[in-house]
């Protein structure tokens, strides 16, 4: 047994895995583990195994996550409208959600009463969380599509790379 195994009381067939995550996510995981009266390690192992099983069964797809994220964004937008006092929030069905990277609402939010260059507007737009999220979703979908076509590959810790083929 190594020193950390002895000090933590785990068996010698146990290995340590490092995970880097935002503090807010770690807090959520800790709260969920405590609510289930489990250690965070046990809780995370269980979550990972459940996700792996769902992915193997074809029940966890990128499109599903993307749709959930789009719905969460739309909920946040509607809540923000409601807090601002907008009397008529528009509720969209999932198939009516904007699929564009930049929506008319996004553009209206960055425009001011002063003339602003296109580059400045772009910088302001790219700093908006909802736009970043949409771009990330589109990029992720394209990367996975290229991966399925054998044109891109992903390696944990390294990221994505081009494998050749059509450009």
Model confidence pLDDT, tens digit, residues 34-52: 988 988 888 888 888 887 7
Higher pLDDT, 153 or 1: 153
**Element housing 159 (H / E):** strand 159-162
27 is a domain residue = yes
Which pLDDT score is estimated for 66? 63
CA quadruple 133, 136, 142, 146: dihedral sign: negative
102 is a domain residue = yes
The domain containing residue 44 runs over which residues? 21-60
Structurally, the chain folds into a number of domains equal to 2
Cα–Cα dist 104/101, whole Å: 10
152 — phi, psi (to 5°)?
-145, 155
Cα–Cα dist 20/33, whole Å: 18
For the CA atoms of the chain, what is the radius of gyration?
Answer: 22
Q: Which of 90, 98, 81, 88 is nearest to 135 (CA)?
A: 98
Same domain (yes/no): 49, 125: no
159 is a domain residue = no
10 is a domain residue = no
48 is a domain residue = yes
DSSP lists the bridge partners of residue 21 as: none
Same domain (yes/no): 27, 80: no
Which percentage of the chain shows pLDDT scores above 70?
Answer: 74
Same domain (yes/no): 77, 149: yes
What is the pTM (predicted TM-score) of this model?
0.39
Residue 61: is its pLDDT beyond 60?
A: no
Same domain (yes/no): 108, 74: yes
């Amino acid at each position: 047994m190594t020193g950390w195994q002895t000090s933590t009381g785990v068996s010698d067939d146990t290995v340590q895995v490092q995970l880097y995550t935002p503090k807010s996510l770690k807090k959520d995981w800790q709260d969920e583990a405590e609510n289930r009266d489990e250690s965070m390690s046990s809780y995370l192992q269980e979550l990972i195994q459940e996700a792996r099983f769902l992915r193997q069964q074809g029940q966890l797809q990128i499109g599903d996550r993307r749709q959930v994220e789009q719905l969460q964004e739309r909920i946040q937008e509607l809540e923000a409208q409601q807090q601002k006092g907008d009397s008529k929030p528009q509720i969209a069905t999932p198939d009516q959600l904007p699929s564009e990277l930049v929506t008319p609402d996004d553009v209206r939010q960055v425009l001011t009463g002063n003339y602003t260059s296109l580059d400045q507007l772009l910088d302001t737009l790219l700093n908006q969380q909802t736009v970043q999220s949409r771009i990330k979703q589109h990029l992720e979908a394209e990367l996975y599509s290229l991966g399925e076509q054998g044109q891109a590959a992903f390696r944990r810790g390294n990221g994505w790379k081009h494998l050749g083929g059509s450009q």
